[in-house]
């Protein structure tokens, strides 16, 4: 069957179409996305701007039409932290539904962590033993750990790369004093909940997902995306510290000139590195394996799990 996921994230709105069946490997069939940058369209009072809502409606309508054209039989649209936390988030969701017919489900942060963990577990398999997962989005940081398909702990913190940049790192580049303050803030936030993860003991494998982690790994010398998803990619704590030293004094435009860094994400790179450095330190892991699957794939896999043989 052909499944579709519409992911309204803090940076990108992404339609992913896959061919899948129960017990099988979801095969990407079509991808359509736009950098709508929700995280940069939040008003001072925390509400989502009217202009963004209008662009979102137009793009969701476009995604719905494409899904029909692509023969999608089951469309799963969802939104994450930025919509979840906005005071007018429900109004935006109601407008999207009214004008497009698409009902966006809003995922809780813990559900984001659980679905991402599921995708990682399926990608690396049972031989990985206990897995710790670090996922840095635009609006939130998700952490999870487990031995089975359901994690033992799944946490979400308001430490996404876009959010930290917007709320705590206004300079371009920020001053050393600002960076030090943000580093302390991030570590205090993670430190307040990290016991829920580390109490299960050290992982057999630590994994990083998200565009932020992939970009940092690419800077550190990991294979480019053109080489495919099956090429092993890794990122060490020392790599992250080296990257931080390199980019902390650069402007966003200067960061964008580094191979592997996109223009649209360059301004968030420093914040993402600060969050990842803190997470790896406090989780006591020296290396992350980079997983090409994350939240979207987790949602698809969970949907497949609920299909009976007749539907597959």
Task: Give residue 308's pLDDT.
Answer: 53
Average pLDDT over residues 108-119: 96
CA geometry: angle 263, 265, 269, nearest 5 deg: 120
| pLDDT greater than 90 at residue 307 | no
Residues of the chain with CATH 3.30.420.150: 109-296
| pLDDT greater than 70 at residue 310 | no
Do the Cβ atoms of 216 and 272 come closer than 8 Å? yes
Residues of the chain with CATH 3.30.420.40: 2-106
pTM for this prediction? 0.94
Residue 192: burial class (beta carbons within 10 Å; 0-12, 13-18, 19+): exposed
In this structure, what DSSP letter does residue 49 have?
Answer: P
Other Cβ atoms within 10 Å of 158 Cβ, number: 14
pLDDT band (50, 70, 90) for residue 84: confident
User: Which tens digits make up the pLDDT trace of 260-269?
Assistant: 898 888 999 9
Instruction: Tell me the CATH architecture of domain 2-106.
Output: 2-Layer Sandwich (3.30)
pLDDT band (50, 70, 90) for residue 312: very low
Distance between CA atoms of residues 6 and 141, nearest Å: 20
For domain 109-296, the CATH class is alpha beta
Distance between CA atoms of residues 301 and 246, nearest Å: 38
Task: Give residue 192's pLDDT.
Answer: 98
Length of the chain: 312
Average pLDDT over residues 7-25: 91
């Amino acid at each position: 069957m052909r499944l579709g996921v519409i992911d309204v994230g803090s940076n990108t709105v992404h339609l992913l179409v896959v061919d899948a069946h129960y017990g099988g490997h979801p095969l990407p069939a079509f991808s359509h996305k736009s950098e709508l940058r929700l995280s940069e369209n939040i008003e001072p009072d925390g509400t989502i701007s009217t202009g963004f809502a209008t662009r979102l409606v137009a793009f969701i309508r476009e995604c719905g039409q494409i899904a029909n054209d692509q023969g999608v039989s089951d469309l799963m649209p969802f939104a994450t932290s930025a919509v979840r936390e906005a005071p007018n988030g429900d109004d935006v969701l109601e407008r999207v539904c009214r004008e497009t017919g698409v009902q966006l489900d809003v995922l809780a942060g813990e559900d984001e962590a659980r679905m991402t963990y599921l995708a990682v577990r399926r990608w690396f398999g049972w031989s990985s033993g206990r897995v710790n997962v670090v996922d840095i989005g635009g609006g939130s940081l998700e952490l999870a750990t487990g031995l089975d398909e359901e994690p033992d702990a799944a946490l979400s913190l308001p430490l996404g790369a876009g959010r930290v940049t917007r709320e705590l790192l206004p300079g371009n580049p920020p001053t050393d004093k600002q960076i030090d303050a943000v580093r302390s803030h991030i570590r205090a936030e993670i430190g307040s909940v990290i016991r829920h993860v580390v109490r299960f003991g050290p992982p057999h494998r630590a994994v990083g997902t998200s565009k932020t982690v992939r970009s940092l790994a690419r800077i550190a010398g990991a294979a480019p995306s053109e080489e495919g998803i099956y090429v092993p990619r890794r990122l060490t704590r020392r790599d992250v510290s080296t990257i931080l030293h390199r980019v902390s004094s650069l402007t966003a435009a200067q960061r964008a000139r580094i191979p592997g860094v996109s223009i649209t994400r360059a301004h968030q790179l420093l914040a993402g590195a600060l969050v990842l450095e803190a997470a790896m330190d406090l989780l006591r892991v020296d290396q992350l394996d980079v997983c090409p699957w994350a939240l979207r794939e987790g949602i698809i896999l969970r949907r497949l799990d609920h299909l009976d043989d007749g539907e597959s």
